[in-house]
Amino acid sequence: MTPSLTRRLKRMAGLENHDRTSSGAMILAVAAQKGGVGKTTTAVNMATAAARYHELRTLLVDLDGQGHVARALASQYENGEPVSLSDILLGHGRDLSEIVHATRIENLYVTPSDKGLAATEGILAGRIGKEFLLRTAMRKARDRFDLIVLDCPPNLGNLTLNALSAADACLVPCDMSVLALSGVADLLTVVETIQERLGHGIRLAGILPTRVDRRNRKVTEAVMSGLEDTYGGLVCATSIPVNSSLARAQMEGVSVFDFDEKSKGALAYRDLTAEVIDKMRSMNPEPGR
């Protein structure tokens, strides 16, 4: 690693210029440029673990118009909200807390899926201050929760920009493919731009190796050593194995903890949640409320 890269990465991790002072919920964006790397699986299971095992009042926000969060938690809540996330983002003075749904899991709340989000993405492009619409719309919600998890769409468009501009920290899932590895660099460049040009002190909660399959040794080792060599200590200590319980839980509309609490996937997401919460708390001298 070059000294300048090391400095850049340290700054992203929040190891320099410690300046988060705002109170209210910790906000975590789960973002990656590529689809299928495990963003939704990570957001859903981390939010559930935070609510269930850490008793944090947690809100999971679905920023991807494909409705994958709703499907992943289908049996846990009813999705029939007349007001959409698009209405909130485009309507002046509206707040995300207007569309919060309780789930059957204690302490876990979600926003409904919104098929109109892809169109909203285009409309946002013409708005002044477009990067901060979500942050403004989360003001009240922030006071009502301890943790807000933002599940981002698979691109670096306006909705992901809004998520990163609202978040205290960003978690970047990377599956064991060369494409995902190069996507990490693109995302980190956006994070840096947000820090420097928009003056928003977002930190990197970590790069999360996902779908790690030790049987597929060559590619897995190449991607893992690529991550370690380039990003060193920013790679999460926990990695997520390929585990069929994760995919099957999603199909059945429950979290992996409700599907098979003892599965490798459940154990990994439990460890990851503890790791990320610890990290976010250490970035912020006054975590939660």
Ligand X SMILES: Nc1ncnc2c1ncn2[C@@H]1O[C@H](COP(=O)(O)OP(=O)(O)O)[C@@H](O)[C@H]1O
Q: Which residues bind ligand X (CB under 6 A)?
A: 35-41, 68, 154, 210-211, 240, 242-243, 246-247, 250, 265
Nearer residue to ligand X within complex by CB, 36 or 67? 36
CA–CA distance, 228 with 232 (Å, rounded to integer):
5
Tell me: does residue 68 bind Mg ion (CB under 5 A). yes
Q: How far is the CB of 144 from ligand X (least distance, A)?
A: 26
CA–CA distance, 158 with 209 (Å, rounded to integer):
25
Choose the one of Mg ion, ligand X, none that binds residue 211, judging by a C-beta under 5 to 8 angstroms depending on kind. ligand X
Encoding tokens for residue 121?
A: 């993405």
Nearest to 154 by CA among 41, 13, 270, 249: 41
Choose the one of ligand X, Mg ion, none that binds residue 243, judging by a C-beta under 5 to 8 angstroms depending on kind. ligand X
Nearer residue to ligand X within complex by CB, 243 or 255? 243
Q: What are phi and psi of 178, to 5 degrees?
A: -65, -35
Do residues 112 and 100 lie in contact, with contact meaning Cβ atoms separated by under 8 Å?
A: no
- In this structure, the number of other CB atoms found within 10 A of the CB of residue 247 comes to 14
SS3 18: coil
Q: How far is the CB of 226 from ligand X (least distance, A)?
A: 19
Nearer residue to ligand X within complex by CB, 110 or 283? 110
Choose the one of ligand X, Mg ion, none that binds residue 88, judging by a C-beta under 5 to 8 angstroms depending on kind. none
SS3 203: strand
Q: Which amino acid is at 255?
A: S
In the bound state, the residue with its beta carbon closest to Mg ion is 40
Q: How far is the CB of 36 from Mg ion (least distance, A)?
A: 8
CA atoms within 13 A on the CB side of 217: 0
Q: Which residues ranging from 38 to 67 are in contact with Mg ion (CB under 5 A)? A: 39-40, 64
Nearer residue to ligand X within complex by CB, 59 or 208? 208
Q: How far is the CB of 248 from ligand X (least distance, A)?
A: 8
Choose the one of ligand X, Mg ion, none that binds residue 135, judging by a C-beta under 5 to 8 angstroms depending on kind. none
Choose the one of ligand X, Mg ion, none that binds residue 287, judging by a C-beta under 5 to 8 angstroms depending on kind. none
Tell me: does residue 160 bind Mg ion (CB under 5 A). no
How many helices and strands (H and E) does the chain possess?
A: 13, 7
SS3 48: helix
Encoding tokens for residue 208?
A: 């999360």
Choose the one of ligand X, Mg ion, none that binds residue 242, judging by a C-beta under 5 to 8 angstroms depending on kind. ligand X
Q: Which residues bind Mg ion (CB under 5 A)?
A: 39-40, 64, 68
